[in-house]
Amino acid sequence: MFEHILKKYGINQIKKTEKLNITRVNEAYKIKTEKGNFFLKKNLFPLTKKQLNFKFDLMLHLDQKKFPVILPIKTKKGDSFVKLKTRTYEVYPWIDNLKEYNTFKGQAYEKRYNQAVKLLADFHKDTKNFKTKNTAHTEPTALKDITAFYEEDKRKKHTKKTIPPIMKIITTKTELDKKIHAYKDELKQLIKEVAKYIKKRKKEKKRIVHYDFNPTNIVFKDNEKKPYALLDFEFSHYDLIELDIIKAAKFFSETNSGKSININKFKKFINTYKKYNNIKLKKEDAYYMTLFIVLRRLIYTLQYRYFINKKFKFSPEKDFKCTNYIIKNKNKFLKIK
């Protein structure tokens, strides 16, 4: 299946290929070969050569800073990835006995909590002076991602066509569609309010952010208490580190399958982070930035359902409910800083 790719790495004989159920954005495989075992990543998310090289430059920089990362194996030509048609592939050494942080429960989870959060603080400190000629991925915090609810989206990111405003074409076929349709005017005003705040904050100094710092991207080896590595830098780019902290806090405090947030756990993450990196959030950061993160995914899933892939497996339901949860608890979020 992947023989033609591995030959570029000087690996000629595959004994067994096993697809791994560890990612929803890309595909991952364990490849057993005559030269040992390897981890192969098939990227389904489209990134340009410069964006991929940005990621690898960042990972190499972190490795030189002694920050825990797993570097890709290079091809015989010295490349960090292989491109075939529209897909790109990366090969990494296979490391036995790695466990994602989210697989630890109870006391085992709590024992590793501080070190897990410290990893993000170290990431921000170690990337403070990072420089590269390659282009970073810039889409994760584009305001168009949320204003597409009431404006045309002409970027043609995932389709060759201009996507009309979601609020003008949303149906009433399902109970969820009916709720969003009934709430569309209020949602438009909310998005305008959030976009105005994020636009104002984005004028400030930007730094490297990971932007996907969740428990599944932190791995431990055996029973060690310090993380073995931080994974997945596809969304890394220049932005406000406050946004990175808040998105991570949301990942670490989601409840009810992402439909709500445990505000005490949310505050715990931020307070723990501040022990390792002295940073102060502005009064409205937690409220508006959390809303931005949730609304972006809500609009994204609606665009996919209506225009790009009607079989898209992510439902907008959890983000719609989480949006309402944040609004209802606005005063509690405004106290977080």
pLDDT band at residue 162 under the 50/70/90 scheme: confident
CB–CB of 256/139 below 8 Å? Answer: no
26-37 pLDDT, tens digit per residue, is: 899 999 999 999
Q: Do 129 and 45 belong together in one domain? A: no
44-69 pLDDT, tens digit per residue, is: 877 888 989 999 999 999 999 999 99
pLDDT band at residue 307 under the 50/70/90 scheme: confident
- The structural domain count of the chain equals 2
Give the residue with greater pLDDT, 276 vs 151. 276
Q: Do 85 and 126 belong together in one domain? A: no
What confidence score (pLDDT) does residue 86 get? 82
Residue 142 lies in domain: 106-332
Phi then psi dihedrals of residue 239, to 5 deg = -165, -170
243-265 pLDDT, tens digit per residue, is: 999 999 999 999 999 999 999 99
Q: Do 75 and 111 belong together in one domain? A: no
Give the residue with greater pLDDT, 152 vs 17. 17
Supply the DSSP string of 63-81, one letter for each residue. Answer: HHTT----PPPP-TTS-S-
Q: Do 20 and 52 belong together in one domain? A: yes
Q: Do 274 and 152 belong together in one domain? A: yes
Distance CA 170, CA 180 (A): 8
What confidence score (pLDDT) does residue 270 get? 98
Distance CA 36, CA 41 (A): 16
pLDDT band at residue 220 under the 50/70/90 scheme: very high
What confidence score (pLDDT) does residue 44 get? 83
Give the residue with greater pLDDT, 22 vs 108. 108
Q: Do 167 and 257 belong together in one domain? A: yes
Distance CA 4, CA 336 (A): 52
Q: What is the DSSP letter of 134?
A: S
Q: Do 45 and 173 belong together in one domain? A: no
Q: Do 23 and 167 belong together in one domain? A: no
Residue 337 placed within a domain: no
- pTM for this predicted structure: 0.92
